Chains A and B, each alone.
Chain A
């Protein structure tokens, strides 16, 4: 079943607050082979002017997916998760995500397009602090394969 094009423009409530930790940053950095000491050593990060250790450039996906989950389970969108393939991903960092940050992910379905029997859904997500500072914008394009 194709994704319902009528849901384009729909925004979902923010995900629960996510606290970025030193331990999760270190775990994720090791998992992608990131070796910058600023992921692991607060003293190095502070020397560079950061408040604490900073996350690798793609770490934000962990938090963005919590926002995207709301769109994925929206019955009116009709996204069949079992037929989902990740098409594109992008991040814009207004500053690095930093240990101690508490952010929420708010997702909007930006576009729904059908092509070749597949549905392409563009999801835009903002990671925002409690003070309203937008730290990172992410965009995911997911492809829902046709039957």
Chain B
């Protein structure tokens, strides 16, 4: 981490999402909008299929950064724009490629540009996190 520089890559990974993932996220988050679990409802409002919760995608897309940092508590800010839905098919679900690139390093803080793509679609844009490169002082 000491010689971190702009352009360094966060090890990317592929995250799989299926219907069970969405049901689990609905329960954990309290977001029971049927577009995320009821195919008949989703298609009736013009969607191609049920779609992943944007907030699930956002939550999953920061994990490579957390794993690389080694401490979720050092993510001090994180913001995204949701740019494309992720349809989650009954049969195969969907795979999302997530990763990140160091944009800037200043005074013990790094800014990371995060990418999340599904096929050719960028599902998050302007996705950026700031992270503390050293642990915060102990709190009582």
Contact = CB atoms under 8 A, between A and B. Distances in A.
B71 A48 contact: yes
Q: How large is the interface on A (under 10, 10 to 19, 20 to 34, 35 or more residues)?
A: 35 or more
- Main DSSP-derived SS at the B contact region: mixed
A57 B75 contact: yes
A58 to B, nearest CB: 4
Interface in B96-140: 126, 129, 135-140
A33 B78 contact: no
A36 B72 contact: yes
A96 interface: yes
B54 interface: yes
Nearest to A57: B75
Contacts of A39: 72
Contact of B28 (A27, A51, A65, A139): A27
11 contacts: A28-B29, A31-B28, A31-B29, A49-B139, A51-B140, A55-B72, A88-B81, A89-B54, A89-B79, A92-B76, A141-B81
Interface of A: 24, 27-28, 30-36, 38-39, 48-51, 54-58, 61-62, 65, 85-93, 95-96, 139, 141
Interface of B: 15, 21, 24-25, 27-30, 54-56, 58-60, 62-63, 66-67, 70-73, 75-82, 126, 129, 135-140
